[in-house]
Structure 1
Amino acid sequence: MLHRHRTGSPIDEMLDAAILFLATLFGGLVSLRVRWTERLLHVALAFSTGIFLGAVFLHLLPSLDAAGDAHSHHWEASVLEARSFEESPPAHSSSEGKLSVLVRGDRAWFFVLLGVLGVYLIEALVLRTHDHDDLHRHRAVGYAALVGLSVHSFTAGLALAVMAGRGLLVGTLLLAMVAHKIFDSFSLASVLLLGKMRRARIHMLIAVFSTITPIGLLVGGAATTHLGQAGMTIVTALAAGTFLFVCVGELLPEVFHHREDSLAKVSLLAAGVAVTMLMHGVGA
């Protein structure tokens, strides 16, 4: 099915969306079927953390640099075009124009900072209590990971919609995205389990998460047009900041909180990064 001939039709998009939904759901359910001990869960969490670190540093943050350069070049081209007609530079009266000013060059990194501070302040000032502090912190991390991963998955769905419309979503690329979704969902479920949520609630969250990339794929062009490239850059930057804090501020300290199984944890952490590197290398 992954190697079928594509026509870019709505039926093709529906089939791709169904494949991605089932793959994501499968990854989460596999994680939930494992009988985790506290020790085994922390070892598995190392792999999940590697997946998330790879998403931040190999996909989200590099895409901000590329987007910032693109917005800068677009602005410079607009100014040169205006001058060639002896007109004033574009006023950027549209919402897209105003947002574009915010993300030119390295300005998008400000929204990464907002993402980091936003998650930290919510976790520290709103969600943290004096009783069962670790449990509440773990749950806050789980929800933050869910939000960041959902944004990342939605933007991936939008990108897939563009490629599908051009007949590019075939073979290896779709297979890589399916594998990516399985690993993402497995990792998310393991993080949610750390917060000792009820299984029924985790099942519900995984089911909702499984719809995110398919929704991005199906709404495709309409969502991209509404948000604009600058809006998408801001959303991506906020997601990157969320992931950055969750990984460095919460998950890594949690993984290595106890010294046992250190070699296994380091190996799985590296394996998680390697998997994301592989997926990124083939365009997923």
Structure 2
Amino acid sequence: MEILFVTLVALAGGALPLLIRWTDRHLHTALALSTGIFLGAVFLHVLPALSEMSLSSVVTQPIPEGSHPGVDLSHVHGGDSWLWLCVLAGVLAVYLIESLVLRTHDHDEAHQHRAVSLAALVGLGVHALTAGIGYAAAQSHTHVGGALLFAILAHKGFEAFSLTTVFQLAGAERKSILWMVVGFAAITPLGMLLGESISAQMGELGMGVLTALAAGTFLFVCLCELLPEVFHHREDSWLRVTLLVIGIAMMMAFEELGH
């Protein structure tokens, strides 16, 4: 039943923008809300999760003989730097793919929007998968699992909504967007169904790399692509700022629901 709810919420959120006839001005205004949701996802969900993984990798290392727990062990902290290196790799990968592979002299803007939409799909897809795996792992703790499910339901629809608006901005065909929504809606349920198996196969290292790459992708897409696109024109600037803040506030509220 939980899987059905998560799927339906994502499908509804992703389909909603397709029911509206957008002008370019209205689409960019809606994109402000979507960008706020993306920013909230990366800074309030993905990066904190990565930080917990990083801290865990340090805490679980054996304390050198003769050391006191309160002594500075900064010399063992290098083991977690690979996670942040993967974040950097995610940022550079999206930039290089967009600049060297997808961009042409004739269709710079169209290819840029397409690259942004695909990068956003990858980043949110990884985030959705890890959320499903986290829910599967929390099932042994009923109160934790229930709160996490509520948080997943709360923001899943808005993330799907945001993805659809980004793909619309890229000029994707309606049929392609629908298939994207269906695929995205299935990712978290897949993580919920196969969470234990996926986690065992990938291990802590694999999950850490995935999360770090997603964080890097998110950072580049949000700060270097979506924000400039939202404020590309000066009209409705304060409305767009307001929607941006609302999107961030929504993700903050949903993050609190998960605790």
Q: Which residue of 2 aligns with 1:24?
A: 10
Q: Which residue of 1 aligns with 2:46?
A: 60
Q: Say which of 20, 29, 37 aligns to 1:34.
A: 20
Q: Say which of 160, 163, 184 aligns to 1:185.
A: 160
Q: What is the CA-CA distance between 1:179 and the residue it aligns to? A: 1.7
Q: Which residue of 2 aligns with 1:116?
A: 91
Give the secondary structure class of the aligned counterpart of 1:176. Answer: helix
Report the residue type matching 1:167 in the other structure. Answer: T
Q: Which residue of 2 aligns with 1:255?
A: 230
Report the residue type matching 1:21 in the other structure. Answer: T
Cα separation, partners in 2 of 1:146 and 1:102, compared to 1, 3 Å: farther
Cα separation, partners in 2 of 1:61 and 1:173, compared to 1, 3 Å: closer
Deviates more, 1:202-211 or 1:226-235: 226-235
The one-character-per-residue Cα deviations of 1:220-264 (angstroms, maximum 9, x if unpaired) are: 111111111222111101000000000011000000000000000
Q: Which residue of 2 aligns with 1:73?
A: 59
Q: Which residue of 2 aligns with 1:148?
A: 123
Q: What is the CA-CA distance between 1:64 and the residue it aligns to? A: 1.7
1:49 aligns with 2:35: yes
Bigger share in helix: 2
Q: What is the CA-CA distance between 1:103 and the residue it aligns to? A: 7.9
CA contact (8 A) 1:68 1:107 kept: no
Report the residue type matching 1:135 in the other structure. Answer: A
CA contact (8 A) 2:135 2:148 kept: no
Give the secondary structure class of the aligned counterpart of 2:82. Answer: coil
Q: Which residue of 1 aligns with 2:73?
A: none
Report the residue type matching 2:58 in the other structure. Answer: S
User: Following the alignment from structure 1 to structure 2, what is the Cα–Cα distance between the partners of residues 206 and 176?
Assistant: 20
**Alignment TM-score, normalising by the size of structure 1:** 0.84
CA contact (8 A) 1:69 1:104 kept: no
User: Following the alignment from structure 1 to structure 2, what is the Cα–Cα distance between the partners of residues 204 and 65?
Assistant: 33
1:128 aligns with 2:114: no
1:208 aligns with 2:183: yes
User: Following the alignment from structure 1 to structure 2, what is the Cα–Cα distance between the partners of residues 132 and 126?
Assistant: 12
Report the residue type matching 1:202 in the other structure. Answer: I
**Alignment TM-score, normalising by the size of structure 2:** 0.91
The one-character-per-residue Cα deviations of 1:123-181 (angstroms, maximum 9, x if unpaired) are: 11111111221111111100110010000000000001011243246655423321210
User: Following the alignment from structure 1 to structure 2, what is the Cα–Cα distance between the partners of residues 247 and 176?
Assistant: 22
User: Following the alignment from structure 1 to structure 2, what is the Cα–Cα distance between the partners of residues 105 and 124?
Assistant: 30
Q: What is the CA-CA distance between 1:201 and the residue it aligns to? A: 0.5
Give the secondary structure class of the aligned counterpart of 1:258. Answer: coil
User: Following the alignment from structure 1 to structure 2, what is the Cα–Cα distance between the partners of residues 216 and 171?
Assistant: 16
CA contact (8 A) 1:48 1:190 kept: yes
Cα separation, partners in 2 of 1:217 and 1:169, compared to 1, 3 Å: farther
The structure with the largest alpha-carbon Rg is 1
Tell me, which stretches of 5 or more residues in structure 2 are unaligned? 66-75
Tell me how many residue pairs correspond in the alignment.
250
Cα separation, partners in 2 of 1:186 and 1:242, compared to 1, 3 Å: same
Tell me, which stretches of 5 or more residues in structure 1 are unaligned? 1-14, 81-100
Q: Which residue of 1 aligns with 2:194?
A: 219
The one-character-per-residue Cα deviations of 1:197-240 (angstroms, maximum 9, x if unpaired) are: 11001001111111000000100111111111222111101000
Give the secondary structure class of the aligned counterpart of 1:197. Answer: coil
1:160 aligns with 2:135: yes
